[in-house]
């Protein structure tokens, strides 16, 4: 169950990171509200997952999921440059997250 909570928390990290960018320095209300709610839920989920998972592994997985989804979303929306190297590096990051789960 802790792995599921951790994955959901990682997805929420991508949500709050994206909302933070769209908030334009907290001047737009909806993105700012989405940021705040997603941030609290993401951190709470990480804390719950860390009850059973090692801190380093949980944090690395959480950041890896959040970072890879944030970059992928940015590339899909045209806000981030897309190149073969960037896609391969994001896939390497995802593979590393899967690898941490596999060896845990």
Residues spanned by the domain of 26:
2-103
Q: Per the structure, how many domains does the chain have?
A: 1
Which residues fall within 8 angstroms of residue 35, CB to CB, at 6 or more apart? 16, 19, 20, 23, 26
For the purposes of burial, counting CB atoms within 10 Å of the CB of 85, is it exposed (0-12), middle (13-18) or buried (19 or more)? exposed
Beta strands in the chain (DSSP E): none
Reported as a single tens digit per residue, the pLDDT across 40-84 is 999 999 999 999 999 999 999 999 999 999 999 999 999 999 999
| pTM for the predicted model, two decimal places | 0.90
Asked whether 72 and 94 are in contact (CB, 8 A), the reply is no
pLDDT of residue 76: 96
Reported as a single tens digit per residue, the pLDDT across 56-67 is 999 999 999 999
Q: What is the mean pLDDT of residues 24-44?
A: 98
């Amino acid at each position: 169950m802790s792995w599921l909570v951790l994955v959901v928390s990682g997805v929420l990290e991508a949500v709050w990171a994206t909302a933070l960018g769209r908030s334009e320095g907290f001047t737009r209300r909806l993105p700012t509200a989405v940021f705040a709610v997603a941030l609290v839920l993401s951190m709470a989920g990480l804390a719950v997952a860390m009850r059973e998972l090692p801190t380093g592994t949980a944090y690395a997985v959480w950041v890896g999921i959040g970072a890879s989804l944030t970059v992928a979303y940015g590339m899909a929306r045209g806000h981030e440059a897309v190149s073969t190297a960037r896609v391969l590096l994001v896939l390497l990051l995802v593979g590393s997250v899967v690898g941490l789960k596999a060896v845990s």
